[in-house]
Amino acid sequence: MKKIFLDNRGLSLTEMLIVIGIMSLAMTGTAAFIAHVWKINAYIYETGQDTTIASRTVDLITTDLRRTRQADNGDYAISDADDFDLTAYIDIDGDETTERVHYFLDRDTDELKRGVTDPTGDIPPQYPSGDDTVETLASHVVNGDGMPVFTYFGRYYFADSTPFETPVESMEIINIRLVKVKLLVDVRPYHSPDHVPIESFVHLRNLKDHEQ
């Protein structure tokens, strides 16, 4: 009868090193994959958050601009209209007082902001220079040259969609009847994927055609 001898010596040092190397490669690959998935998920989450906020901001601005009206001191409803800067008179808080409201893109911080200034109690009321209060409405807004936040049109937009040249001159501001608000949101500029565009049009319904 043959005797079977089992080799109980285990793995040699070389074999152990090979096993450890294979396991290390597998763990490194798994860790890299998990990190990549985490980055993708984080980007999707951040982009979703910023896109939601930007969408709400566009809705807020268009809702505000629908209530544009003459200033309490008699100034015209819009005082400044440029690519990244719009100043209008609105009863922003429903207190029957018309505030000066200044929307602008801070291109140093990529933040869209809103400044509000209350009129003084003088007769007639006066609006101090500068903004009384400033709040950030949206972050990671990356509109640049050739990609304006605000675009302005006359009342015949559907027949002639040519926008006004900016900054809109004071003699032309009274002809603005439609404003396009467009935000380009990018959580990580200079990296793919590209920015997310969010836009809307608002008709300045309180401005009558006989004012032209």
95-110: per-residue pLDDT in tens? 889 999 999 999 999 9
Residues of the domain holding 94 = 42-211
CA distance 111 to 108: 8
Least Cα distance to 58 among 205, 197, 206 occurs for 197
113-127 mean pLDDT:
90
The band of 210, judged by pLDDT with boundaries at 50, 70 and 90, is very low
Residues 57, 138 contacting (CB under 8 angstroms) = yes
Token pair 């109690």 is found at 121
Could you tell me the two tokens for 195?
A: 């920015």
Q: Is the pLDDT of residue 57 over 80?
A: yes
- In a domain, residue 18? The reply is no
- In a domain, residue 145? The reply is yes
The band of 53, judged by pLDDT with boundaries at 50, 70 and 90, is confident
Partner residues linked to 87 by β-bridges: 80, 102
Residue-level pLDDT at 203: 92
- In a domain, residue 28? The reply is no
State whether residue 112 is helix, strand or coil: strand
Residue-level pLDDT at 159: 80
CA distance 165 to 176: 11
- In a domain, residue 167? The reply is yes
Residue-level pLDDT at 187: 66
- In a domain, residue 193? The reply is yes
CB atoms within 10 A of CB 87: 18
Number of structural domains found in the chain:
1
Residue-level pLDDT at 211: 42
- In a domain, residue 26? The reply is no
- In a domain, residue 94? The reply is yes
Report how far apart, in Å, the C-alpha atoms of 77 and of each of 36, 143, 175 are. 51, 26, 11
Q: Is the model more confident about 135 or about 156?
A: 135
Q: What are phi and psi of 29, to 5 degrees?
A: -65, -40
Could you tell me the two tokens for 205?
A: 């319904």
| Torsion sign (Cα): 115, 111, 43, 180 | positive
3-state secondary structure 38-80: HHHHHHHHHHHHHHHHHHHHHHHHHHHHCCECCCCCCCCCEEE
- In a domain, residue 10? The reply is no
